[in-house]
């Protein structure tokens, strides 16, 4: 985003009078947008401090290959210290066990964060803390500093999803969409597992009145309406800013990723990208059906396959075990599809001219990227806010198709024939071409909104003006 020059000059004069402290939740899907938001704030000349665990700080900086080095150099990284309790390896869970590790980690950072705040508060006129709501317990001491104020940044949830799933059930106000769509709106019942609800409920109780406002990784352009953003502030004396999209920038250089070289050899809009977030865990049977469905469709694809419980991509030694069910599938990969065996930059993949569709679970991070890059989606929700995000993109914005209807059980296996039909409809039909056209037009409008004078850029300007008032 381009900022306003007079605001930037003013902030450079302020120096450390106003210091911004970023406290992300300790998972990569939250760390990356927090870092990008930190760079946007830093571009106004403000001093920005980014707090995270040593390993995550190093990993985040290593992955930030597309960020301007001068922007990254202006971010002060601080390593948080902790002594976590051991994780019970036999703990039952509906979500991958590594999520419990993240939770365990982020319950032991309060002392380290408070110590940092105590030190920096004596050197600054004002501290502006921007934190993830899932870190509310750890940052609760911010209210004890007279020269500090705090704001919540919501990087991984849409305004539509937040209102429908978390606010509407409590305020009793209507959901402002057409009656025909309202009748098809998926229920949240059965999509949020107990662990996620327990974690969210625990953190929310520490928000209290300490937060002076909320920043959202979305916009009126991205969601097609400003109604839900406005509704988020109902009954609260808090300001709301919608500054999205906040996502890692793309870079023209290949950065040594073989998958991008492979994409260079494919025709425009001919490849389907397949990827899921780390909280999505498929059974071997479902992986088999997905692989067979992709093969039946005869469409080119690039598939990033994770092992959620290891937090790693596990195609190495386990590749043969996962795909031995269909003789010849591996041999056909070089000509038809590509299985990615290492971390790859999703934004760069979606921005590539050969990508014609994206099959994913509809976590909001993926939705932000696919909307911004103008790529149509095949929605396959698996948990949490995924159904609402999928509904927003496929039924309201009409830039995608659904792999199955929302009323189906989320653990019900989707057959290869179903996958085949939906993939071919998006990638090789007139209906798919129309969806792709709408997605392209929306992407262009969203990117334009981040330019000088655009809606999202103006929202960011307003936020900077507010915290430096």
Q: Name the 3-class secondary structure at 337.
A: strand
Dihedral of CA atoms 324, 325, 331, 332 in degrees, nearest 10, equals -150
Q: Which is nearest to 270 in space by CA: 432, 419, 439?
A: 432
Q: Which is nearest to 3 in space by CA: 42, 44, 47?
A: 44
346 alpha carbon, distance to own chain's centre: 11
Q: Name the 3-class secondary structure at 24.
A: coil
DSSP-assigned letters across all residues of 30-97:
HHHHHHHHHHHHHTTT-EEEEEE-HHHHHHHHHH-TTS-HHHHHTEEEEE----PPPP-TT---SS-H
What is the Cα–Cα distance from 303 to 274, expressed in whole angstroms? 5
Helices of type H across 205-345 = 220-223, 227-231, 258-264, 284-297, 315-323, 329-336
Confirm if 22 and 40 have CB atoms less than 8 A apart. no
Radius of gyration of the chain measured on its C-alpha atoms: 22
Residue given tokens 């709301």 in the structure block: 240
Q: Which is nearest to 189 in space by CA: 169, 163, 159, 160?
A: 169
Which CA distances in Å does 202 have to 1, 107, 137?
A: 35, 11, 8
119 is catalytic: no
Out of 71, 132, 165, 214, the active site residue is 132
Q: If phi over 0 gives left and psi between -120 and 50 gives alpha, with beta otherwise, what is residue 374? A: left
Confirm if 232 and 214 have CB atoms less than 8 A apart. yes
49 is catalytic: no
Helices of type H across 408-452 = 416-427, 430-449
Q: Which helix (H) or strand (E) holds 240?
A: strand 239-242
Q: Which residues are catalytic?
A: 30, 132
């Amino acid at each position: 985003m381009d900022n306003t020059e007079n605001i930037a000059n003013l902030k450079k004069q302020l120096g450390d009078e106003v210091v911004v402290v970023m406290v992300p939740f300790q998972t990569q899907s939250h760390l990356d947008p927090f870092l990008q938001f930190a760079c946007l704030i830093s571009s106004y000349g403000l001093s920005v401090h980014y707090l995270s665990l040593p390993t995550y700080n190093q990993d985040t900086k290593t992955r930030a290959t597309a960020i301007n080095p001068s922007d990254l150099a202006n971010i002060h990284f601080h390593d948080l210290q902790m002594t976590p309790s051991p994780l019970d390896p036999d703990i039952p869970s509906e979500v991958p066990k590594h999520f419990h590790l993240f939770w365990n980690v982020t319950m032991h950072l309060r002392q380290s964060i408070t110590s940092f705040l105590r030190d920096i508060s004596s050197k600054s006129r004002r501290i502006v803390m921007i934190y993830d709501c899932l870190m509310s317990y750890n940052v609760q001491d911010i209210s004890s500093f007279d020269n500090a104020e705090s704001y919540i940044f919501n990087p991984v949830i849409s305004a539509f999803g937040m209102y429908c799933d978390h606010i509407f059930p409590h305020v009793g106000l209507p959901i402002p969409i057409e009656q025909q769509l309202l009748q098809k709106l998926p229920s949240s019942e059965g999509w949020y597992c107990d662990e996620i609800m327990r974690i969210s409920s625990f953190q929310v109780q520490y928000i209290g009145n300490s937060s002076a406002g909320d920043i959202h990784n979305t916009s009126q352009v991205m969601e097609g309406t400003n109604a839900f953003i406005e509704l988020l502030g109902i009954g609260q004396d808090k300001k709301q800013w919608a500054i999205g999209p906040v996502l890692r920038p793309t870079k023209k250089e290949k950065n040594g990723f073989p998958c991008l070289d492979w994409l260079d050899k494919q025709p425009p809009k001919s490849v389907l990208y397949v990827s899921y977030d780390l909280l999505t865990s498929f059974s071997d049977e479902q992986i088999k059906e997905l692989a067979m469905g992709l093969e039946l469709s005869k469409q080119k694809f690039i598939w990033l396959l994770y092992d959620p419980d290891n937090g790693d991509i596990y195609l190495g030694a386990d590749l043969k075990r996962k795909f031995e069910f269909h003789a010849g599938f591996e041999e056909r990969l070089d000509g038809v599809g590509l299985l990615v065996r290492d971390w790859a930059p999703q934004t760069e993949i979606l921005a590539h001219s050969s990508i014609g569709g994206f099959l994913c679970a509809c976590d909001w991070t993926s939705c932000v990227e696919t909307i911004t890059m103008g790529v149509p989606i095949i929605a396959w929700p698996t948990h949490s806010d995924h159904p609402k995000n999928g509904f927003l993109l496929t039924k309201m914005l009409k830039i995608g198709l659904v792999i199955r209807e929302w009323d189906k059980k989320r653990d019900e296996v989707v057959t290869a024939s179903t996958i085949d039909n939906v993939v071919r409809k998006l990638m090789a039909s007139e209906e798919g071409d129309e969806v792709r056209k709408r997605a392209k037009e929306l992407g262009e409008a969203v990117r334009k909104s981040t330019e000088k004078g655009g809606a999202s850029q103006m929202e960011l300007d307003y936020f900077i003006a507010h915290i430096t008032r």
